[in-house]
Amino acid sequence: MNNIKEKYYLEKTELADLDDFDDLQTLEEEPILELDEICIENAEKVFSRTGQKQPKEIITCVTPPRIDELFRSFLVMNNMTRTMQAFQIEWWAFLTKYSDFRVEIHEKTLTDPLASPELVDMVQTNQNLLVQLSKFQDSTKKYKKSLKECRHQNSKMREERDYFKIHHKRTLEENERLFRELNKLKTVSSSYQPVIKKLTDKYKTAMRQKMLNQLQRDRAIGECKGLQSTIDSLKNLGMAEDSKEFFPEDSKEVMQVLEVQQHSKESTIFPPNGMRRQRHDNTSHAIKSNYKSVINLSGHSELISQITSHPFLPYFVSGSEDKSFKVWNSPSGHLVCERRCPELGWVASLSFDKYDGTKLAVGGENGFLQIWPFSIESKDELPDDGDKQNGKTTQQEFLTLVSGVTPLKIKCHAFAILSLDWSPTELKFMTGCIDGSIKIWNYDQISQAGKLCKPETVLRTEKSAINSACYLPNGNAILVGLSSGGIRIYDVRRRVRLQYWDAHHAPIRCIRPDVSGKYVSSCDQNGIVHVWDLKRLESCLWSRLKEPRQVQEMTTHPRSPVNSFELRETVPSTDNLKTAQVSYYISV
């Protein structure tokens, strides 16, 4: 009975030892929560790459007993131990003899466990376990590889995390330090603001005083030189009986300085001794001095700085140092309108556009410019009593300022705009500054861009201030009168200087071309007027006023540009209120 209870095995198999399992180590718990997700993602990538699914539970199937198993069971149940032992010996001998057959059966078992009915369930189970074990070994290798990758990524993420922590900490410290320095700088800046404001005001005052001193200096030097040349010219012509009244006694020191200092750029069209060449003695209009005053108007409370005429209608505009401009009717002297411009300072220049005459450009002391809109209205009027009785009416045009419209304002220069003129062919205008620069602006661009508009052309002249500048009738060239007494002609398109000569000894106050563009009239502060022939670059007419005046505008007659011209001047009153008068002088 004891022998019957012993266990018998058909085949003994041993599992292969796996040395690789010693390398497996458990990972420490990491504080990074994303590690599990990364492992899951890597495992999914491995299975998707190999095309295998994740291992599931092994389900064993029960096969029906075979003939050898029934025979063994029968022998054991009947206690036939010797027969059982003999059967086992013969059976194992049979299996050993036919080993090739076993190999074939083993291969079939690997592919299909049910293909070998001769093997027992235990052998088949062992074979299945070996197959599964090989699969598990492959998957274990893949898991180890993915685990190494996860370790590498984990260490890399740890290093990056530590680096960013340190960098973030340094950034916070730097930010705090910058905030502390910024607060210190704000405190220091607030303490310096009053000083900066005072220095800025002093700088502006000094620059303004410098500009005024330069103007007064140029005016005084030019006045002395002009009076001296006038006296010499009158001596040559035999008209120097009353020459003492043209040369003040207090200007002797200035004349001594002028004898030492010569002009930097002398014209080649005048003799080296400084005297101007006059026309031949046979001309009847070489000198004009018989002027008559047409009308005198008391227009402003301060000195008048600029006067300009309307291109089509009998109107003119006067600008003054009282920060206002007034529109007058000519020759009646009726005041049409008045506007104040406190943003510009004192009015330095004025000009109507030559296209339709509905735009007035006003240049100020601080370099700003305003463009005021005007309108032209036509009305029927009875000119005199005779026409009233006959019932005849005449249609006249009136110039009125458009109300309720804000003028355009732009920053043109850094200093005062002393000259201003519109182009006769386009809606463009030029501005001349005391610093010697000329800029050409487009009105359409200003109306669209406003303060952001930039000039189309910038011309740089000498260091002398630009007292007067205007377009030639063709619109392609610009006449420039300088405070040094010189005249320059510039080509607008090519931006080059065409002609230049020293026309006056005193600063030029006004310069104007005639309608044909062949002659140019210039007048200085001493009241000396020249009409120049642009082809020969010589004076074809020389004239003077009886007393030195500050001429504000000069207009040549359209039919006789050489023999007739018109002057408008400002005459300060004798009292201390700085009132001014506007006078017309017409040659006869």
Which residue would you say has higher pLDDT here, 295 or 135?
135
Distance CA 385, CA 287 (A): 42
Among residues 457, 493, 458, 461, which one has the least CA distance to residue 474? 493
Counting Cβ atoms within 10 Å, is residue 125 exposed (0-12), middle (13-18) or buried (19+)? middle
Integer Cα distance of 426 and 448 in angstroms: 17
Chain position carrying tokens 């009239």? 521
- Banded pLDDT at 531 (limits 50, 70, 90): confident
pLDDT at position 456 over 80? yes
- Other Cβ atoms less than 10 A from the Cβ of 179: the count is 10
Report the C-alpha gap between 38 and 44 in whole angstroms: 10
Averaged confidence pLDDT in the chain: 72
Q: What does the pLDDT average to over 307-328?
A: 86
Exposed / middle / buried, residue 524 (Cβ in 10 Å: 0-12, 13-18, 19+): buried
Residue 102 has pLDDT above 90, yes or no: no
The number of beta carbons lying within 10 Å of the beta carbon of residue 539 is: 20
For residue 170, name the pLDDT band (cuts at 50, 70, 90).
very high
Q: How many CA atoms lie within 13 A of 256 on its CB side?
A: 5
| DSSP H or E run through 237 | helix 121-237
Taking the C-alpha atoms of residue 123 and residue 12, their distance in angstroms, rounded to an integer, is 8
Tell me which residue has tokens 């320059």: 488
State how far the Cα of 378 lies from the Cα of 399, in Å rounded to an integer.
9
Q: How confident is the model at residue 331 (pLDDT cuts 50, 70, 90)?
A: confident
If phi > 0 it is left, if psi is from -120 to 50 it is alpha, else beta; for residue 436 that is left
Residue reference for tokens 């074809």: 540
Instruction: Report CA torsion sign: 493, 496, 499, 500.
Output: positive
Q: Is the pLDDT of residue 473 over 50?
A: yes
CA dist., res. 271 & res. 547, Å (int): 27
**How large is the average pLDDT for residues 455-473?**
83
What local confidence, expressed as pLDDT, does residue 343 receive?
87
pLDDT of 413-438, one tens digit each? Answer: 888 888 899 998 888 999 998 888 89
Contact 539, 531 (CB under 8 A): yes
pLDDT of 63 reads 56
User: Whole-prediction pTM value?
Assistant: 0.49
Return the SS3 of 59: coil
Write down the pLDDT at residue 580: 40
Q: What is the DSSP string of 415-446?
A: S-EEEEEE-SSSSEEEEEETTSEEEEEEHHHH
Determine the average pLDDT of the residues in 525-548: 72
CB within 8 A of 13, min separation 6: which ones?
123, 126, 130
| Domains parsed from the chain with CATH numbers | 262-380+390-587 (2.130.10.10)
- To the nearest whole percent, how much of the chain has pLDDT over 90? 12
Cα 35 from chain centroid (whole Å)? 53
